[in-house]
Structures are given as C-alpha cells and as structure tokens.
C-alpha cells in the first residue's frame, strides 16, 4: 500500500491508473476508521481495479474550532486498517496541501438543508461540498463511497454530483450495525453501560415506524409520535429530532408516499447518536 501525502503524487498515481484504464474507487474519510468505513472500503475493493482511501480531517466543515481540536485521530490504526483490506493508496495530505491559501470561492446549498443534522450544524455541508470538490478533482474517482448512516451527507453529495456534472458514480452503502441493531459509530464508546443497553431502542423504534408506514394506516404525525414515545419511554436519551422527509430531496411530505427517510438524533449523557431508515411506501 502506498501512503501519499501530496496532491502532486496523488495526481501522478491517478494518471498512471487512468492510462492503464483502471477504475478508481474512492473512500473519503476523516480517519479513526471503524467498521462503517471498512464496509465502504470493502465495497470499493469489490467494484474497482484500485481503491484510494483519504484520511483528512477537513477544518472547513467544523463549525467550532474546539471540535476540530479534539477530533480523534489515530494514523497508525488507520494505516493498519487500510493495509488489511488491501487498499492501494492511503491519501493523507496535510491541511496545507488541500488549503494552500485562504479560499476565495464559497459553495453553499439551497436544497437538502435546513432539516436533520443541518439544523444544528450550519455551514457544515458547505465545507463538505468544498473539500469533496477538491478531492474529486485530485483523485478522479470512477465511484465514490458514502455510508447511509449520514443520509443527509449522501443526499448532499448526490446533489453535488448532479448539479456540477461530476463524472463519478455515487455508491450509497448500508449502515453497519451491532448484533443488537445499534448503528456502528465511534461515538458508541462514549455511552455509559446503561445507555449502551438502551441505545438499540432507536433502531427498533425506526423499524416499527417503517412497518406502520408500509401498512399505510397511520399519519406522518402519528408515526413520528410512536418513535418519540418509544425512545422517551425506553431510554434516558433526549430527542434532538425525529423527521420523516422525502429522500434524497429531504423535503417535507404531507402524505406517506414515495421514497422517504425516517431519521432521528438522540442525545445521551456524552454521545449524540443518529440513525435512519430509507424506505419506499406503496404508491397507488
């Protein structure tokens, strides 16, 4: 496995790969790799001639510089994970390679925001768009891999690719879960033992919501109430949001029709957990 730290060397690798007509699967991450990332890499490996993983903690997508300072990093661990999977290139540029100068161009979203996690992270997705545009230009991926656990990010990347005509295929990868259904996340270690036993309730509640939606008897409000009650009764967590929206447009729906996302965020004492299910309601 090659470890590359400069844009120039990365471009050089890409040029050679393209010349040899090799497809490139690209997995952009902020490091501290866990099973969710491994799933993205495994899919990328199956579907492409070579796999490029990026580990880059993007300062532009942090609203709070304190958050950026404490963001967990473990380069040795990340290198081992990538090697074990058989990644071809681990791209770990310093900030100065990706942001050699103060940005003079800002990319902002008019769609797919103002809901879900964007409510509490204004500007976050603007930073995501910018860094992904740069990384896509540097790695020229045939396919890019994102996990559906952050479903809003997937929706935003989908818009980026469509709106600016990026020539890459977006692969949306299913959320990886623990045996009891809890979505894998590096934040799970911040749950107390008691909270850890309660946390699978989130996914249970979402599954029940989906069942109710498929039956088509309850209204959107009733389904959201069901999720809310279950989480409030069965956990000590505080609900940040429960939303049912069209997907990937993330627009308000009056009826439970078409492809929808039911998503929630729950705050525990030291961990904020998010989860969602995307499903299609029967359309008559």
Q: How far apart are the first and last CA of the chain?
A: 52
Residue closer to a copy of itself, measured from CB, 127 or 200: 127
CB of 65 to a copy of itself, least distance (A): 19
Using an 8 Å Cβ cutoff, are 23 and 59 in contact? no
4 forms part of the interface with a copy of itself (CB under 8 A):
no
20 forms part of the interface with a copy of itself (CB under 8 A):
no
54 forms part of the interface with a copy of itself (CB under 8 A):
no
Residue closer to a copy of itself, measured from CB, 11 or 34: 11
* Among the residue ranges 15-23, 62-70, 192-200, 256-264, the one whose residues contact a copy of itself (CB under 8 A): 15-23
Quick check: is 37 catalytic?
Answer: yes
CB proximity list for 225: less than 8 A, separation 6 or greater: none
Angle between helices 151-163 and 124-139 (to 10 degrees): 60
Unique residue bearing structure tokens 């740069």:
134
x/- string (CB under 8 A) for a copy of itself, residues 108-127? xxxxx---------------
Q: Which two tokens stand for residue 236?
A: 């000590």
- Say if residue 14 carries a ligand binding annotation: no
* Among the residue ranges 35-43, 82-90, 165-173, 191-199, the one whose residues contact a copy of itself (CB under 8 A): 165-173
- Say if residue 32 carries a ligand binding annotation: yes
d(CA 72, CA 203): 26
- Say if residue 127 carries a ligand binding annotation: no
137 forms part of the interface with a copy of itself (CB under 8 A):
yes
**Burial class of residue 146 (count of CB atoms within 10 Å of its CB; 0-12, 13-18, 19+):** buried
Sheet of 258-267, strand order: 238-246, 258-267, 272-281
154 forms part of the interface with a copy of itself (CB under 8 A):
no
CB proximity list for 116: less than 8 A, separation 6 or greater: 151, 152, 241, 243, 245, 250, 263, 265
Point out which residues bind a copy of itself (CB under 8 A). Answer: 7, 11, 18-19, 21, 98, 100-101, 103-112, 129-130, 133-134, 137-138, 140, 159-160, 162-167
Annotated binding site, which residues? 30-37, 61, 147-150, 153, 176, 184-187
Positions marked catalytic:
37
């Amino acid at each position: 496995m090659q470890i590359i730290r400069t844009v120039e060397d990365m471009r050089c690798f890409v040029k050679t790969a393209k010349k040899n007509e090799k497809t490139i699967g690209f997995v952009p991450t902020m490091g501290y790799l866990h099973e969710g990332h491994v799933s993205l890499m495994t899919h990328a490996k199956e579907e492409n001639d070579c796999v490029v993983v990026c580990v880059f903690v993007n300062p532009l997508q942090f609203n709070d510089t304190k958050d950026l300072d404490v963001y967990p990093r473990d380069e040795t661990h990340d290198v081992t994970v990538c090697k074990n999977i058989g990644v071809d290139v681990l791209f770990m540029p310093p900030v100065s390679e990706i942001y050699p100068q103060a940005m003079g161009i800002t990319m902002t979203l008019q769609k797919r925001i103002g809901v879900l996690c964007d409510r509490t992270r204004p500007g976050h997705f603007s930073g995501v768009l910018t860094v992904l545009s740069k990384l896509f230009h540097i790695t020229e991926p045939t396919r890019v891999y994102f996990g559906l656990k952050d479903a809003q990010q997937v929706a935003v990347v989908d818009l980026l690719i469509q709106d600016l005509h990026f020539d890459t295929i977006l692969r949306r990868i299913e959320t990886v879960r623990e045996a009891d259904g809890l979505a894998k996340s590096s934040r799970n270690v911040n749950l107390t033992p008691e909270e850890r036993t309660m946390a699978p309730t989130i996914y249970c509640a979402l599954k029940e919501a989906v069942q109710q939606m498929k039956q088509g008897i309850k209204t959107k409000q009733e389904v959201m109430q069901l999720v809310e009650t279950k989480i409030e009764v069965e956990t000590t967590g505080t609900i940040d949001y429960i939303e049912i929206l069209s997907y990937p447009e993330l627009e308000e729906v009056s009826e439970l029709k078409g492809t929808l996302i039911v998503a929630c965020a729950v705050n525990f004492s030291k961990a904020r957990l998010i989860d969602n299910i995307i499903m299609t309601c029967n359309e008559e």
